[in-house]
Amino acid sequence: MEGQLSINTESCIKCGKCARICPSLIITQEEKGSPVKVQNVENCIACGHCVAVCPTGSVLHSEFPAEKVHPFKYSDYPTPEQMMLVCKARRSNRAFSKQPIPQEALKQIIEAAHRAPTASNMQQVYFTLVTDPEQLDAITRFTLDVFNSAAKKLKNPILKLVLKKIMPDAYRYLPVFDRLNREYAKGNDMILRGATAALFIHTPKSSRFGSADANLAYQNGSLMAECLGVNQFYMGFVCTAIHQENKDTLANMLGINGTIHAAMALGMPAFRFSNYIDKKDTVETDL
> Given the rule CB under 6 A, which of 10-18, 28-36, 53-61, 232-240 is the region that contacts ligand FMN?
232-240
List Cα–Cα distances, 249 to 38, 146, 200, 203, 244, in angstroms: 47, 10, 14, 16, 11
Asked whether the CA dihedral 22, 26, 27, 28 is positive or negative, the reply is positive
Residue sitting closest to ligand FMN (CB) = 236
Q: Is 218 among the residues that bind ligand FMN (CB under 6 A)?
A: no
Q: Is 235 among the residues that bind ligand FMN (CB under 6 A)?
A: yes
**Alpha-carbon distance 230 to 102, whole Å?**
9
Closest CA to 225 of 279, 189, 190, 265: 265
Q: Determine contact, residues 56/50, Cβ cutoff 8 Å.
A: no
Q: Is 200 among the residues that bind ligand FMN (CB under 6 A)?
A: no
**Rg, the chain, Cα only:** 24
* 121 CB-side CA count, 13 A: 11
Q: Is 120 among the residues that bind ligand FMN (CB under 6 A)?
A: no
The distance of closest approach from Cβ of residue 226 to ligand FMN in the complex, given in angstroms and rounded to an integer, is 10
Q: Determine contact, residues 48/27, Cβ cutoff 8 Å.
A: no
Q: Is 94 among the residues that bind ligand FMN (CB under 6 A)?
A: yes
Of the pair 5, 235, the CB lying nearest ligand FMN is at 235
Of the pair 64, 234, the CB lying nearest ligand FMN is at 234
Instruction: Find the binder of ligand FMN among 61, 197, 237, 260 (CB under 6 A).
Output: 237
Distance of CA 27 to the CA centre of its chain: 31
Of the pair 94, 114, the CB lying nearest ligand FMN is at 94
Instruction: Find the binder of ligand FMN among 92, 99, 135, 244 (CB under 6 A).
Output: 92
Binding site for ligand FMN (CB under 6 A): 91-92, 94, 233-237
